[in-house]
Chains A and B, each alone.
Chain A
């Protein structure tokens, strides 16, 4: 393989500064930030040396807020204004939230996503998450000594578009450029795989505070290929706490509780759960506001019994993912356990029994996701070093489709398709003289539109009047490597077209985000124009660097006059980038993009040809079937 590693495409051959990028595990219970320093991924700690940041935000009457341990310490005293497990509310309406009667919050319904009433005003889950992300960003900037070029933020693999978009919006609000949203089990697999030089098919069982994911991956020579993923975005350690909480109420025969008492007992339930991971029994002792005392003993046997259905609920998606990957239990070489909730003995036992092998617990289940995210962030930021030759091939977790007649869903891209991917399908008109077609993009596995998530709607207009069934409308879906979906529709006869880049219609609107951004900016007095100029200067530097690297590797692909033009455009952009005129920078960038367009295509061709050349060399060495291949390389 060494032959293939000379001047990888996209890899800068010129020495360059290390770009500051981080991986963030935005967890239901705890969050972490990690980065790659001197080739090693490390979790960044706070000033007191603590790696975790509890995902808890407390809002105070004076408009200020506390994040992390500070907020957590006040949770029992000020439950209404202290928001924990906000991840469960991301991209969700009130009706989606299970057990909400046991929560101390004052919910407010809003189109698409619920809101929370606090003493500091109404907060969207996006704003609460942004406060957590901001705290992590500040921690990272303080530790690394400069602004970040971006972050890879992890999300449960089974998050749908609304939940993903809400996470991106939160990052935007926190002033964090998002390099990629990465699925949590995939991040864990990267960390595990690179650490252990693993090869073969692995399962990642990820039970976090509020979400469950299962992913099946094939690891082969530095390529992480996700074969299937599944899960339940509303099942996690919190539900186990809730089971213990219910058991306490029943066993102690308690009357309806005040918000404060419920909050306190829920905290006791969580403590008992954690205690049971190392002990056979946990004492539960509490004093209610009425003066009544609760004294109970929770054993592992009772805990296993009351949580049995929850554990079983995780095994169903595991079976489904195996089916989707067309694999059986015997194909799985190892099961990587991720998420604090996998510390529970009954979970370890159930997973071990199902896969007929002991799960792998040699990585810290709290940190492995952030470590994997940091590794990916380092790569996407362009800090790839020679030998860092790995690649991730991810899938979409849920099917994407269109609404057809009768409220049914026609799936266009099935779940677990490797991205980037594109699919097109032809539709037709159903009425004579019909000149417009409504296109409704949905996500989910169910057959009825009403059971799936609505992602976007748009219309194709200007179809020439025809007899019903004779128009040929081609609807094309393209999902890029970030999982971003673009849909376009074209009437083949007339060529009329319409298209949309899908942003879920029920999250926050751009105006709302802009409003929140303005609010958060009001404190720091930021100049939007200066930011825009700065951004274009950064973009210009990125382009210049890319072109210089391309020239260093492949300038022989250009004729002398082409090379001269490219060099002229480089000089033009270099001088434009020094001046403070954003428009001039943009124009110079356009010119350089134009003069290097063919060059890019030739480089890609060369790279693909080289893939074959490299392979044939390998096969001559080791493979006797080489004679059947390579005729046209």
Chain B
């Protein structure tokens, strides 16, 4: 097993967006139960160092593949379609306006303490996100249109951030 192999090969999973998450979980736990430092608590320094490196590596790979957004970004990165960082992407105006409307709706509901409205927005947004990931999966796994996929990923980066804001608003509302 090559330490520098890509995350998919590490878990012997096909390099694609759609992923069997149960299988990923299972392989992650199998790997970790082999390499984790607690398995080497009485071993020599060299073995312990290696174990730390491997366990760190396995955790990183798992975290990257587990969440759909980071998995998509990683897939694009592997095929040299880096999407850039959150802060320096240019997005079409209609998308940005839509985003601003969402944010205003969240801020208003939060200020008014309308928990039900926040829950409603949350539900809508999750539905929207699920659809976008379906579209993204088709672009990556079937039509192999990575340019388009990178564009969709950039949009999802905005929207996932919005979801975090919405989560925080809901917590703030309950407190």
Contacts and interface: CB of A to CB of B under 8 A. Distances in A.
B37 A480 contact: yes
B34 interface: yes
Contacts of A550: 43, 47
Nearest to A225: B29
A450 interface: no
The winner among B38, B51, B56, B59 for most chain A CB atoms within 10 A is B38
Interface string B25-42: 101011111111111111
A596 B46 contact: yes
24 contacts: A9-B40, A10-B47, A179-B41, A223-B29, A320-B171, A323-B171, A381-B42, A389-B33, A393-B36, A418-B59, A420-B52, A420-B59, A421-B60, A481-B52, A545-B42, A550-B43, A550-B47, A600-B43, A600-B47, A603-B47, A608-B35, A608-B54, A625-B20, A630-B12
Contacts of A492: none
Interface of A: 8-12, 179, 220-223, 225, 316, 319-320, 323, 379-382, 389, 391-393, 417-422, 478, 480-481, 542-543, 545-547, 550, 592-593, 596-597, 600-601, 603-605, 607-612, 614-615, 625, 628-633
Contact of B50 (A221, A320, A418, A601): A601
B58 to A, nearest CB: 9
B31 A481 contact: no
Contacts of B38: 379-380, 391-392, 481
B46 A600 contact: yes
B130 to A, nearest CB: 14
A491 to B, nearest CB: 20
Nearest to B33: A391
Contacts of A611: 30-31, 33-34
Contacts of A9: 34, 39-40, 43, 47
Contacts of A614: 30
Contacts of B52: 420, 480-481
Contacts of B31: 608, 611
Contact of B1 (A319, A543, A609): A609
Nearest to A545: B42
A157 B172 CA distance: 23
Contacts of A601: 46, 50
Contacts of B13: 629
Contact of A223 (B9, B32, B42, B63): B32
B32 A391 contact: yes
Interface in B118-145: none
A596 to B, nearest CB: 6
B36 A391 contact: yes
Contacts of B59: 417-421
Which 8 residue pairs of A and B lie closest in terms of their CB atoms, listed nearest first?
Answer: A382-B42, A481-B37, A600-B46, A600-B47, A10-B40, A597-B46, A608-B1, A10-B39
Interface string B55-93: 110011011000000000000000000000000000000
Contact of A546 (B42, B55, B60, B171): B42
A126 B14 CA distance: 53
Given A547-B44, A611-B31, A632-B9, A478 B56 contact: yes
Contacts of A392: 38
B163 to A, nearest CB: 11
Contacts of A480: 37, 52
Contacts of A608: 1, 31, 34-35, 54
Contacts of B29: 220-221, 223, 225
Interface string B159-175: 00000000100010011
Contacts of B40: 9-10
Contact of B174 (A10, A319, A547, A607): A319
Contacts of B55: 420, 481
Contacts of B44: 543, 546-547, 592-593, 596, 600
Nearest to B45: A593
Nearest to B29: A223
A15 B39 CA distance: 18
A546 B30 CA distance: 23
B138 to A, nearest CB: 20
A460 to B, nearest CB: 22
A214 to B, nearest CB: 14
Contacts of A603: 47
Contacts of A8: 39
Contact of A481 (B33, B36, B46): B36
B93 to A, nearest CB: 29
Given A9-B34, A391-B33, A481-B38, A605 B1 contact: yes
Contact of B41 (A382, A478, A593, A605): A382
Given A316-B174, A316-B175, A418-B59, A604 B47 contact: yes
Given A420-B52, A481-B52, A604-B51, A612 B46 contact: no
A288 B92 CA distance: 75
The winner among B1, B32, B35 for most chain A CB atoms within 10 A is B1
Given A480-B37, A592-B44, 11 more contacts: A11-B39, A316-B171, A323-B167, A380-B38, A418-B62, A420-B55, A422-B60, A546-B42, A550-B47, A604-B35, A629-B12
Contacts of B51: 604
A420 B54 CA distance: 9
A220 B33 CA distance: 12
A615 B35 contact: no
A10 B42 contact: yes
Contacts of A547: 44
Contacts of B46: 593, 596-597, 600-601
Contacts of B60: 421-422
A391 B51 CA distance: 14
Contact of A542 (B20, B35, B42): B42
A220 B25 CA distance: 10
Nearest to B167: A323
B129 to A, nearest CB: 13
A376 to B, nearest CB: 8
A600 B37 contact: no
A597 B43 CA distance: 12
Contacts of B175: 316
A220 B32 CA distance: 13
Nearest to A389: B33
Contacts of B62: 418
A323 B30 CA distance: 26
A546 B43 contact: yes
B39 to A, nearest CB: 5
Contacts of A220: 25, 29
A592 B36 CA distance: 23
Contacts of B27: 615
A419 B63 CA distance: 11
B15 to A, nearest CB: 12
A632 B54 CA distance: 19
A82 B76 CA distance: 63
Nearest to B27: A615
Nearest to A480: B52
A223 B43 contact: no
